[in-house]
Amino acid sequence: MSPSSVKASHPASNAPDPLGRDDPARLLRLEAWAARALDFDDVLVNLERHAPTSLGLRALRAIAPLDESGTRAALARAAEALALERAGAAPSLAGVADPLPPLEAARRAGRALEDVALVQLRLFLEACGRLGAWLREGAGAAPALAQLASGLPDYQKLVARIDEIVDERGRVRDAASPLLARLRAELAETGGAIERALKALVARPEVKAVLSDLATHRRGGRAVLAVKSKSQGRVPGIVHDRSQSDQTVFVEPRETVALGNRQAELAADERRELERVLLEVTRALLAREDEIREGAERIARLELALLAARYAREAGAVVPRLAGEQGADGGLVLRAARHPLLVEQQRTGKLAEVVPIDLRLGADFDLLILTGPNTGGKTLALKTAGLAALLARCGLPFPCGEGSTVPLYDGIVADIGDEQEIKSSLSTFSSHLARIKAGLARATNRTLFLLDELGTGTDPDEGAALSEAILEELLARLCPTLASTHIGKLKEFAFRNPRAENACVEFDPKSMSPRYKVLVGVPGESSALLIARRLGLPYRVCDRAEQRLKRRDVEVQKLMADVRTARTEAEKVRGATERRLAEVEAVAREAEERQAELARKGERLEAEAQRSIEDRVRAARARVARIAALLAQVPGAQRQALEAALGELDRELSGAAVSDRRQAFLDGLKKGSFVYLPRFKQRVAVQKVDRERREVKVLLGGIGMTVGFDEVTSVEAR
């Protein structure tokens, strides 16, 4: 199931959200990370249940990619929080609530905070002090978290000021002001006088006989008696209300009207004094609003780290390492990665299993072309890679295995899906191009490109040509790129470009179901004919299609020699080759002296040295080929001279890698032999050998391709 079909819901908060998900600056930043195409908000919704406080919920909803230093700090905090969570040593967030919405509402409206809001704010300030002390005490075990306490303000005086005004239940204290104390004392005295007067009145037999009940009721803040309607005149006073049956009227007896008026005056004076007292303390809090905001931001970062830890434990996620760090692999390396929305489906029982995928990009190659049948998981793989990069940049963990690394990309360009831009009158193909154009305008070597179904929506030949040109441009800019496609010519593209690689999604031909696994280094097949036969399409139709397919030229163009250098670089390679061969010979001599045991070691070292030599020579010839490709722009006479010089250099390089062992290997090549292709890190069988052209035909990932002798070796990578 595609993660784009997974939609989660969460009750919307009615509280002001000044730094929430609709913040324009945040939306612009997320747009540069293709967050909408990657279903980022849906992922955040699934994380919301791990936020126990309103402050953490707002921080999560406001989360966006951080700068480089912020990313490193957030990931370090998440890793420390995960260790604390596993050890059962995470701190309590009791008392933490978001202090900013009520403060901002009070400032905008120019009114006092309510007493309940003051209690919540006091609890938050007290929690800041408690958590600050906890962070400082644990500085040795969690230094990144301890950094949050270094700038946490001291709120003790503010807490004491609030304690002077309200009690723990939120009631303003009598001692909050002398006037308030006097007014409340008079109110209590007046209320007692009214109660005594009513009791004396109810005790009269003539009055008791006309009452519906003997209780004192209140209507509009006034003390009244329930008098039977037919006897209303027997209790003189002011009628404040009637019952729904009209059998009872609520009368304020004239004996208590004056006392009631005095009580109302005192209550109004009390409300004014309460407002004054609360406004005074509100102004004191607003005077330190920046300090409170600073505390809220630091505690929010702490809660995000704890939230990340709780999610990591539940989802089996890890805090990925950043590429280039000590001990971390270079480039994007995802091991046993799972899409977060599918993990959520599994948690809720909607999905029985989530198949993890392994993916890499950026170390050995900058472009990975992903092929395979529909519904095989190509789009899922692209979204998984994009979300891993985006969540890491937000300081959040990702469901993947230990050893996963994520580069510090500066943005993501995602052309995923075929949504037509109807408002702009754009076709599907045009909308694809519009997104790619916008991405190229801001592309750097740290911009991750995710291109789904590249080249579709138009004439296949033109789509293939345009797609190749786009991929060449991305390679030239060193942009890390994951591209999925069904176009066969794009599968061949990786064979001709040293920084490009093929991959496929596995498909079970027997059950006609995807396995959702990604195999790097092997181009995939669309399996269209196989699926058509399985689905019962007439045999004559399938046979005719198969015959047409066979008539096509399925050989990939000869792999361009692994291009790299001119004569100067070639000389360096030759010198390095000689030095390495001398080392091998020295090892061989030592092996002869130590006989059998060291002989095996000598053979292994010689083979590894030969492999290194071959790799260096291929790199040199690649540069020669690249230079040769540029000669079309050089005038005729000069071009011929340069071509002759490059040809001579190429022949010299061809001989640089040939040793006796190598020559014996080449002489023994025949149909059925197995060779190793270093470029694709694959061991394949030879189908045909052409010694005149110095080429062999092999089958790689279901595609027949022809490679030169220089591209094959007997030494597999270890």
Token readout for 252 is 């304020």
With cut-offs at 50, 70 and 90, classify the pLDDT of residue 2. very low
> What are the tens digits of pLDDT across the range 375-393?
668 889 999 999 999 999 9
Q: Would the pLDDT of 421 be above 50? A: no
- Short-list 235, 196, 194, 200, CA closest to 218: 194
Helix-helix angle 156-165:254-287, to 10 degrees: 180
412, part of any domain:
yes
> What are the tens digits of pLDDT across the range 544-577?
666 665 554 444 333 333 332 333 343 345 335 5
The dihedral of CA 465, 470, 474, 477: what is its sign?
positive
With cut-offs at 50, 70 and 90, classify the pLDDT of residue 134. very high
pLDDT value at position 685?
Answer: 82
Same domain, 504 and 404: yes
Same domain, 330 and 309: no
pLDDT value at position 253?
Answer: 94
The total of other beta-carbon atoms located within 10 Å of residue 198's CB is 21
pLDDT value at position 549?
Answer: 55
The whole-angstrom separation of Cα 82 and Cα 307 is 9
What's the mean pLDDT when you consider all of the chain? 81
> What are the tens digits of pLDDT across the range 324-365?
776 566 789 998 999 999 999 999 999 888 889 889 898 888
User: How many domains, the chain?
Assistant: 4
Same domain, 359 and 474: yes
Contact at 8 Å (CB) between 239 and 250?
yes
Q: Residue 594 to residues 580, 607, 691: CA-CA distances in angstroms?
A: 21, 19, 39
Token readout for 411 is 């943005």
95, part of any domain:
yes
Q: Which of 17-21, 65-69, 135-139 has the weakest average pLDDT?
A: 17-21
Q: How far is CA 334 from the centre of its chain?
A: 13
Contacts of residues 248-257 at CB distance under 8 Å and 24 or more positions apart, as own/partner, are 248/212, 250/217, 250/219, 250/224, 250/225, 250/226, 251/224, 251/225, 251/227, 252/219, 252/222, 252/223, 252/224, 252/225, 253/197, 253/198, 253/201, 253/225, 255/197, 255/201, 256/194, 256/197, 256/198, 256/223
Q: Would the pLDDT of 513 be above 60? A: no
Same domain, 63 and 129: yes
272, part of any domain:
no
Q: Is 693 left (phi over 0), alpha (psi -120 to 50) or beta?
A: alpha
Sheet hosting strand 513-520, strand order edge to edge:
411-415, 447-451, 481-484, 367-371, 500-508, 513-520
Residue 421 CB burial class (10 angstroms; 0-12, 13-18, ≥19): middle
Same domain, 326 and 308: no
25, part of any domain:
yes
Q: Which of 394-403, 474-483, 604-613 has the weakest average pLDDT?
A: 604-613
CA angle 291/295/297 to nearest 5° reads 115
Q: Tell me which of 136 and 510 has the higher pLDDT.
A: 136
Same domain, 369 and 441: yes
The whole-angstrom separation of Cα 687 and Cα 703 is 12
Last residue of a domain, one of 551, 582, 606: 551
> What are the tens digits of pLDDT across the range 186-234?
999 999 999 999 999 999 999 999 999 999 999 989 999 999 999 888 9
Phi, psi of 672 (to 5 degrees): 95, -15
Residue carrying structure tokens 């040809």: 647
- Short-list 449, 466, 412, 457, CA closest to 432: 457
All residues at 6 or more sequence positions from 572 whose CB lies less than 8 Å from its CB, including other chains = 565
Same domain, 311 and 327: no
Same domain, 196 and 258: yes
Same domain, 130 and 10: yes
Q: How far is CA 669 from the centre of its chain?
A: 49
Contact at 8 Å (CB) between 665 and 516?
no
The whole-angstrom separation of Cα 277 and Cα 266 is 16
pLDDT value at position 9?
Answer: 34
CA angle 284/285/290 to nearest 5° reads 120
Residue 104 CB burial class (10 angstroms; 0-12, 13-18, ≥19): middle
Contact at 8 Å (CB) between 342 and 1?
yes
15, part of any domain:
yes
pLDDT value at position 610?
Answer: 62
Same domain, 534 and 589: no
pLDDT value at position 528?
Answer: 59
Same domain, 528 and 670: no
Token readout for 103 is 């403060």
pLDDT value at position 630?
Answer: 67
> What are the tens digits of pLDDT across the range 79-120?
999 999 988 889 999 889 999 999 999 999 999 999 889 999
Domain CATH for 534: 3.40.50.300
- Short-list 536, 549, 513, CA closest to 374: 513
pLDDT value at position 558?
Answer: 38
The fraction of the chain above a pLDDT of 70, given in percent, is 74
Give me the count of residues in the chain: 718
Mean of pLDDT values over 272-287: 94
281, part of any domain:
no
Q: What SS3 state is found at 347?
A: helix
The whole-angstrom separation of Cα 672 and Cα 158 is 84
Q: What is the dihedral of CA 399, 405, 408, 412, to 10 degrees?
A: -50
Same domain, 571 and 474: no
493, part of any domain:
yes
Mean of pLDDT values over 667-687: 81
Q: Beta strand pairing status for 682-690 and 411-415?
A: unpaired
Owning domain of residue 156? 3-168+286-315
pLDDT value at position 717?
Answer: 44
Domain CATH for 207: 1.10.1420
All residues at 6 or more sequence positions from 700 whose CB lies less than 8 Å from its CB, including other chains = 522, 523, 677, 680, 682, 684
pLDDT value at position 515?
Answer: 65
557, part of any domain:
no
Last residue of a domain, one of 495, 520, 551: 551
The whole-angstrom separation of Cα 46 and Cα 234 is 67
pLDDT value at position 620?
Answer: 72
pLDDT value at position 316?
Answer: 93
Q: Beta strand pairing status for 682-690 and 674-677?
A: antiparallel
All residues at 6 or more sequence positions from 469 whose CB lies less than 8 Å from its CB, including other chains = none
Q: Tell me which of 671 and 588 has the higher pLDDT.
A: 671
